[in-house]
Structure 1
Amino acid sequence: MREILPVLTDWYASGGAFGLATVVAVSRSAPLGPGAAMAVGPGDQVVGGVSGGCVEGAVFELAKEVVESGQARLQTFGYSDEDAFAVGLTCGGEITVLVRAVSAATDPAFGQAAASVEEHRPVVVATVVDGQARRGASLAVWPDAVAGSLGAEGLDVAVTADARGELAQGATVLRHYGPHGERREDDVAVFLQSFAPPPRMLVFGAIDFAAAVARIGAFLGYRVTVCDARPVFADARRFPDGVEVVTDWPHRYLRDTDVDERTVMCVLTHDPKFDVPLLEVALRTPAAYIGAMGSRRTHEDRLARLRERGVEAAETARLRSPIGLDLGARTPEEVAVSIAAEIVALRWGGSGSPLGDTAGAIHPSRLKSL
């Protein structure tokens, strides 16, 4: 959803209605997880996707019908292989998609929620999927505010409390309630989609590789900051739009920067006067990934210097160095792909091996954070 919001915001501001399809449940080897979204807007323009191409044609037609009728629809797509003209997933999975019409007239909270996502403010969008409430009704929940309604005060109160709990974890879930908010399994199904602020990528060293790493980091959904102590290199004109560029000593900047379990760090300076004090700080943060560029010889020298500064083996074991997966990369863009591949593999528990050499599900169970 997050990546298509700029387009949806423009459609919403125009005053017309558009069809929004959201994956609310998956099973087995589904291509995309809960929260994946596709929208059909003016002139039959399409953005996003719900299945990687398998059922988008059917969802397109469904979205147009929903905009015309104003009635939200719930559709499940399962495995289809026997009939070449059948609509379904060839991967063996199953997805359930909620399709609803969105406009300023019918969903006044949507614009506020979309603005929060754009501004990196946390919000949950709760939407009725099925049961004894109006399908497609939505409620936006912030840590300190609420907008919209699911149709019953008790249901709004219960969902608001749950939404704030899920937001604290960055979780997206499908929950069930009675019509007045009591916990039951057979009355009202509500999809709670959390939009936590995007995770951060901190790139240290504004060298030629940094622009490529920053570009692919932004593509993966990270909020990217590039930091270098040298003003001549820490020049925003050398980096993609939207990337923050900071001139400061890396260790000093990191010491004063919030780092959480979703943060990734790429140390590209491979200069001990920058790397060693920086890594001494970095390895004691809860960051999800810390990678450092340099040869194997540089890596061994770096480890020795860190040990001299009292950094313990359990801490240095977290360091991914030399940074990236072995792809035979040469150019800055290829190296950036190898770094991104290592980050993705660590996030999802991937092996980094060719899929043809592995067994089991291709699409693993997805993280709850979006």
Structure 2
Amino acid sequence: MRDVIRRLVAALEGCRESAFCQVVETRGSTPQKAGAAMLVLPDGGQVGTLGGGCVENEVKLKALRRLREPGASVHSFVLDHDDAWADGLVCGGRMTVVVEAFRGDAPLSYFRALAEAIDGGHGFTEAVVTTPESPSLGRRTLFDAEGSVLAGDATLQASPAPLTQRPRARVERGVAWLPSLPRVRLVIVGAGHVGQAVAALATEVDFDVWVLDDRDRFAAADRFPAAGRLLVGPIGETLASIEADLHTFILIVTRGHGHDQEALGVAAPKPAGYVGMIGSRRKIRLIFEALRGRGVSDEALARVSAPVGLDIGSRTVPEIAVSIVAELIARRNLGARTKQP
């Protein structure tokens, strides 16, 4: 989404034609969900995807035709089993897509605000009019995480659901509500091989990655080029200085038992949305017992995911990273599922 909006803003700034295609509603099994977007360019190029296959190709054709006549249109697609099988998909659902062609800078301020909201990572909701016969079809309103209007149609007589309730995309009275939850900050404690591999994958799936280590040669930009912050200092003291909330995940993958225990003693009581620690079940049990002896509550330790990662039979560092990031995605998207040693 970030790349799509950046390219759209650049096209609008250069007064170049483009067609913005966005999924506004889905039912059943579909290759993409509401909010997914694709930008179609006059030469047939595209940025982003609606999932590929027959639907994406059909939307692209409609977008290219729409470029000749700026404005918006809405299209529904039923992915029957024949289409799904032909495209290698197991879908059978329904997708509704709004296609809007732009030329000039008329919506530039709106999409600049949307780009800033995406980059800010604090969460937002888009409201898009989807009623086919309405002259307002495609009209957009952008709300911040608290429900205040940031850009677009300020006359919309409705407001979004609070992001604290983790709302899902929905269509009500001809308006699609497309929430984007605040970006999760992932604090990786330990800049070794596993931390490095996790950071690379987590960045790709839109975590805001911070890396903490007591060795500056490890917590370095050449090893973590996409990290939002690199923190060097005593592990416990530095971790204690980081404020945490439900949108903060803490992953402990240090180089040794003692550092893991120190980090977990600080992290477990924090109000983070997720705390996970790597290690064998025996090591984790010993660390938990030691921390209980130091006054860390059972309630705090019960929230810790350990051993971290989904059980996929991981053996190599890349496989371990995949298992960990998969668990992080599941926690972000599906909520808490407590694991105990």
Distance 1:249 1:18 in 2: 51
- Kept after mapping to 2: 8 A contact 1:4/1:47: yes
User: Per-residue deviation at 1:236?
Assistant: 1.9
1:315 positional shift: 2.5
Kindly provide the amino acid, as one letter, of the partner of residue 244 in structure 1. Answer: R
* Closer/same/farther in 2, CA of residues 195 and 345 from structure 1, 3 Å limit: closer
What does 1:180-191 correspond to in 2, within 5 Å?
Answer: 185=173, 189-191=174-176
For 1:312, give the aligned amino acid.
Answer: S
Q: How does 1:320-335 map to 2 (within 5 A)?
A: 320-335=305-320
CA 258–270 in structure 1, closer or farther in 2 if over 3 Å, else same: same
Give CA-to-partner distance per residue, 1:53-84, whole Å, 9 cap, x none.
Answer: 34110011111122221131111111323479
Compute the TM-score of the two structures, normalised by the length of structure 1. 0.79
In the TM superposition, residue 3 of structure 1 has moved relative to its aligned partner by: 4.9
**For 1:9-28, what aligned pairs fall within 5 Å after superposition?**
9-28=9-28
Aligned-residue offset at 1:16: 1.4
CA distance in 2, matches of 1:64, 1:85: 26
Give the match's secondary structure for 1:69: coil
> Structure 2 matches for 1:1-370, cutoff 5 A?
1-82=1-82, 90-108=90-108, 109-120=110-121, 122-130=123-131, 132-142=134-144, 146-149=150-153, 155-156=155-156, 158-159=157-158, 162-163=159-160, 165-167=161-163, 169=165, 171=167, 173-176=169-172, 185=173, 189-348=174-333
Deviation at 1:118, TM superposition (A): 2.2
* 1:125 alignment partner, SS class: strand
Gaps of 5+ in 2: 336-341
Contact 1:79 1:88 in 2 (8 A): no
Equivalent residues, number: 332
CA distance in 2, matches of 1:90, 1:80: 9
Cα deviation, 1:291-324, whole Å, max 9, x if unaligned, reads 2122333222211211111223333222222222
Show the counterpart of 1:356: none
**Cα pair 2:30 2:91 within 8 Å, conserved:** yes
- Go from structure 1 to structure 2 and tell me whether the alpha carbon gap of 1:311 and 1:104 turns closer, same or farther (over 3 Å shift): farther
Query: Quick one: structure 1 residues 52 and 87, their matched pair in 2 at CA, closer, same or farther if it must change by over 3 Å?
Result: closer
Letter in 1 for 2:151: A
Q: In structure 2, give the amino acid aligned to 1:136.
A: G
CA–CA separation in structure 1 for the residues paired with 2:329 and 2:122: 24
- Matched AA of 2:152: G
Structure 1 window deviating more from structure 2 (190-199 vs 209-218): it is: 190-199
Q: Which runs of 5+ in 1 are unaligned?
A: 177-184, 351-370
Using structure 2 for the length normalisation, give the TM-score: 0.85
Give the RMSD, CA atoms, in angstroms.
3.0
Question: 1:76-110 CA deviation, whole Å, 9 max, x = no partner?
Answer: 11132347999997511111111112445331311
Are 2:249 and 2:274, in contact at CA under 8 Å, matched by a contact in 1? Answer: yes
Deviates more, 1:210-219 or 1:96-105: 96-105
* Identity fraction in percent: 31
CA-to-aligned-CA distance 1:101-142 (integer Å, 9 cap, x gap)? 244533131122213322435443322111544111223334
* In 1: Cα distance, 2:35 partner to 2:196 partner: 30
Distance 2:130 2:21 in 1: 12
> Structure 2: which amino acid aligns with 1:126?
A
